[in-house]
Amino acid sequence: MGLLPGPLSPRLHEGLVRLGVWMPFGRAARELAWFCGAAVGEATARRLTEAAGAAYVAEQTAAAEELAATRPAPPAGPPVQQLSADGAMVPLVGGDWGEVKMLAIGTVAAARGADGTPAVRTGEVSYFARMADHEAFGRLASVETHRRGTETAGTVVAVADGADWVQGLVDLHRPDAVRVLDFPHAVEHLNAAGQATWGAGAPEATAWLARQAHELKTGDPDAVLDALRSLPVHDAADPAAAARVRDQTLAYLEKRRDQIAYARFRRCGFPIGSGMVESAHKTVVEDRLKGAGMHWAPRHVDPMAALRTAVCADRWDAAWRAVARRRRARTAPPRPGAPRALSAHQASRPRRRGTPPRPRAAPMPRPPADRVSSRSWRLAFQPDRRAADLAARRASRDVSAKN
């Protein structure tokens, strides 16, 4: 019958879990009652959703381990694929915070903007998220990079901020990827240098930033680096602080010189922004895990994040099949005729020496195949059982009277 653990039918079970992935558990229970007339409590919604998420995490972990062990041939990837990764903070119980690392993968295609000019669009976006260290995250993320054909894609464009762990992730899954420093991230660093020189909100800082951002996007990045070196930090309100910010910005961009050739990237039809993964943080993680007053136990973050990646990428059906398969496997009934396991208390009770094993009571007859109602079963078979018990008690009284 495809039953799952719990009091609900498979369809109601799935519906409650899906609602719990989209909204707080109490509201999910109320919405299920409104739509389906099934009254469940907030605790049930929480328990079933977290159990389903844990099953999906276990399924993906097992798949990643199998990929590492067997190394099957990857599927064909698209001609151009974008890969972006970043981290978002989630509130934990006790006032702590945990970082959920997010990998977003999409297919890049040429398009036209609203004004008819050529534009780059990334679609068919999917996600992988875990609260894990960067090494474990890289290994586990193989389940999604393999599915999306990252290894066989024609060109992979890795657009990200300057975090070192992201570069390690790219090294692991596609070392020959074209690496692009997120353009708004680079402009942010330029803005910090300009404001340190002229002051926050100063017209000179605004005009300087506009010129350098345009040059960086459409022209020569070396000209921008020269302009950065020529900042009049000696005229700043705090020359030492302005010089320090300028030098830090210059060192940051010079280290990533190959990643800021934005004009060349645009001519090749490559994306230069990591908005795909930044949007994923909001829609996949923050919209559900950073609600008002929410604090999560660490063991529940990955299950919820995993289910969110499935539902937000429109991959719920495939994910739920894996969840249901694993949940049913964990609660499969024993085979007919298999010996019943003793409880811990029964197994620990010693039997007196010389005492024969206590005979088992005769099993109650199973209901006929055409009787599916437990009430019909009781009405059909319980009277005979009660009559047998009554006859046994009468026989016992007769023996006692004779003695």
Q: pLDDT 10s per residue in the chain (403 long)? A: 678 888 899 999 999 999 999 999 999 999 999 999 999 999 999 999 999 999 999 999 999 999 999 999 999 999 999 999 999 999 999 999 999 999 999 999 987 777 777 788 999 999 999 999 999 999 999 999 999 999 999 999 999 998 999 999 999 999 999 999 999 999 999 999 999 999 998 999 999 999 999 999 999 999 999 999 999 999 999 999 999 999 999 999 999 999 999 999 999 999 999 999 999 999 999 999 998 889 999 999 999 999 999 999 999 999 999 999 999 987 655 555 555 544 444 444 555 555 555 555 555 555 554 444 444 444 444 555 555 566 666 666 654 555 4
The answer to the question of residue 25 being in a domain is yes
Residue at a domain's end among 230, 260, 290: 260
**Which residues partner with 118 through β-bridges?**
112
Domain tally for the chain? 3
pTM beyond 0.85: the answer is no
**Which residues partner with 80 through β-bridges?**
155
One domain for residues 144 and 203: no
The answer to the question of residue 337 being in a domain is no
The answer to the question of residue 32 being in a domain is yes
Kindly tell me the sign of the dihedral angle through the C-alpha atoms of 357, 361, 367, 373.
negative
One domain for residues 177 and 195: no
One domain for residues 178 and 200: no
One domain for residues 176 and 193: no
258 in Cβ contact with 179 (< 8 Å): yes
251 in Cβ contact with 61 (< 8 Å): no
Instruction: Look at residues 60, 43, 209, 217 and name the one whose alpha carbon lies nearest to residue 139.
Output: 60
Kindly tell me the sign of the dihedral angle through the C-alpha atoms of 141, 142, 147, 151.
positive
**How far is Cα of residue 389 from the mean position of the Cα atoms in its chain?**
57
The answer to the question of residue 301 being in a domain is no
One domain for residues 232 and 167: no
Kindly tell me the sign of the dihedral angle through the C-alpha atoms of 256, 101, 271, 76.
positive
Q: Which residues of 228-241 are buried (b: 16+ CB within 10 A; e: fewer)?
A: beebebeebeeeee
90 in Cβ contact with 167 (< 8 Å): no
The answer to the question of residue 347 being in a domain is no
Q: How far is the C-alpha of 258 from the C-alpha of 277, rounded, in Å?
A: 22
Do strands 80-91 and 97-112 pair parallel, antiparallel, or not at all (unpaired)?
antiparallel
One domain for residues 127 and 166: yes
One domain for residues 130 and 165: yes
The stretches of 71-116 forming alpha helices (DSSP H) are none
Strand, coil or helix: 229: helix
Domain that holds residue 42: 10-71+314-330
Q: How far is the C-alpha of 2 from the C-alpha of 320, rounded, in Å?
A: 13
The answer to the question of residue 367 being in a domain is no
Q: At what angle do helices 316-330 and 10-22 cross, to 10 degrees?
A: 120
One domain for residues 25 and 88: no
The answer to the question of residue 300 being in a domain is no
One domain for residues 118 and 46: no
One domain for residues 175 and 242: no
One domain for residues 37 and 57: yes
The answer to the question of residue 343 being in a domain is no
